[in-house]
């Protein structure tokens, strides 16, 4: 029996992308928690498989030619798993182009911009008490997420899924639709809202979204480690 894929993971939107894909594709996997609240993403053993010190990452014992392979970056992981299983990646090259466009749209736009909106709206006020110093960032990223929601809403006006058939493009974008933390009202985007409900109703999406929910209680269990992790995460410079 093939050994399960190791999923190095924490329950965040980028982590959920991969847990959802693994559930959708029916692949056996085991979760290896990476507690980003105390800086486990900076541990040397993790850096061997994810040199950008970000999760998620996977190790597939049954990689190309039957040899183990590790993959970091959530978009690359989704593409790898889709190729491995032949699922959720389009039936021909034209369909794959559609999937890739929207996968990269999420990786380069929706994810980073929504992440910045979360940062300036939620985390930054805890370390910068002067709202005036944060307002530009709050406005900049809240407005950009609003624009991106609009792009997705327009795209979904005449189709059920982002790239035609349900695909890894949907799995990539769905976890990042978190309107409350991003200052958005989903009722302003009816097609996006319907898609979000449609995808969220899938049993595999529900299962993947629930992976590791119990881990969140340990997010900052060690205050000293958590503070060091924050210093690394928001003040890290290149190693030379």
The superfamily (CATH) of domain 5-87+208-235 is Glutaredoxin (3.40.30.10)
Q: Give Cα separations from 81 to 48, 183, 227 (angstroms).
A: 20, 33, 35
pTM of the model: 0.91
Beta strands in the chain (DSSP E): 5-9, 29-33, 57-60, 69-72
Give the whole-number percent of the chain exceeding pLDDT 70.
Answer: 90
Non-local (6+) Cβ contacts of 167 within 8 A are 82, 88, 89, 90, 99, 161
Question: Which part of the chain has CATH 1.20.1050.10?
Answer: 93-201
What pLDDT, in 10s, does the model give residues 205-232? 999 999 999 987 655 545 555 455 455 5
Non-local (6+) Cβ contacts of 239 within 8 A are none
| 133-150 mean pLDDT | 97
Question: Which part of the chain has CATH 3.40.30.10?
Answer: 5-87+208-235
Q: What is the mean pLDDT of the chain?
A: 92
| 183-205 mean pLDDT | 98
Q: What is the pLDDT of residue 31?
A: 97
Q: What is the pLDDT of residue 240?
A: 43
| 94-118 mean pLDDT | 97
What pLDDT, in 10s, does the model give residues 22-48? 999 999 999 999 999 899 999 999 999
In CATH, what number does 93-201 get?
1.20.1050.10
| C-alpha–C-alpha distance, residues 23 and 90, integer Å | 18
Q: Which residues pair with 30 in a beta bridge?
A: 6
Structure confidence at residue 235 as a pLDDT band (50, 70, 90): low
Q: What is the pLDDT of residue 227?
A: 54
| 117-137 mean pLDDT | 92
Helix ranges (H only) for the chain are: 13-25, 44-47, 74-85, 93-105, 111-118, 124-127, 131-155, 168-173, 179-182, 190-200, 203-210, 223-235
């Amino acid at each position: 029996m093939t050994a399960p894929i190791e999923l190095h993971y924490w329950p965040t939107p980028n982590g959920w992308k991969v847990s959802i894909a693994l559930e959708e594709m029916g692949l056996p996997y085991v979760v290896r928690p990476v507690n980003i609240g105390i800086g486990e993403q900076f541990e040397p053993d993790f850096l061997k498989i994810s040199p950008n010190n970000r999760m998620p990452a996977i190790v597939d014992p049954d990689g190309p030619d039957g040899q183990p392979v590790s993959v970091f970056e959530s978009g690359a992981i989704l593409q790898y798993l889709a190729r491995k299983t032949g699922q959720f990646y389009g039936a021909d090259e034209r369909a794959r182009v559609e999937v890739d466009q929207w996968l990269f749209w999420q990786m380069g736009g929706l994810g980073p911009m929504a992440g910045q909106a979360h940062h300036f709206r939620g985390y930054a006020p805890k370390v910068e008490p002067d709202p005036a110093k944060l307002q530009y960032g709050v406005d900049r990223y809240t407005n950009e997420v609003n624009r991106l929601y609009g792009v997705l809403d327009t795209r979904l006006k005449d189709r059920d899924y982002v790239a035609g058939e349900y695909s890894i493009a949907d799995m990539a974008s769905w976890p990042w639709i978190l309107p409350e933390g991003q200052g958005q009202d989903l009722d302003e985007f009816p097609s996006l809202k319907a898609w979000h409900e449609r995808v969220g109703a899938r049993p595999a999406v529900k299962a993947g979204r629930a992976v590791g929910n119990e881990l969140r209680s340990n997010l900052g269990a060690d205050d000293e480690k958590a503070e060091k992790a924050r210093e690394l995460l928001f003040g890290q410079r290149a190693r030379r």
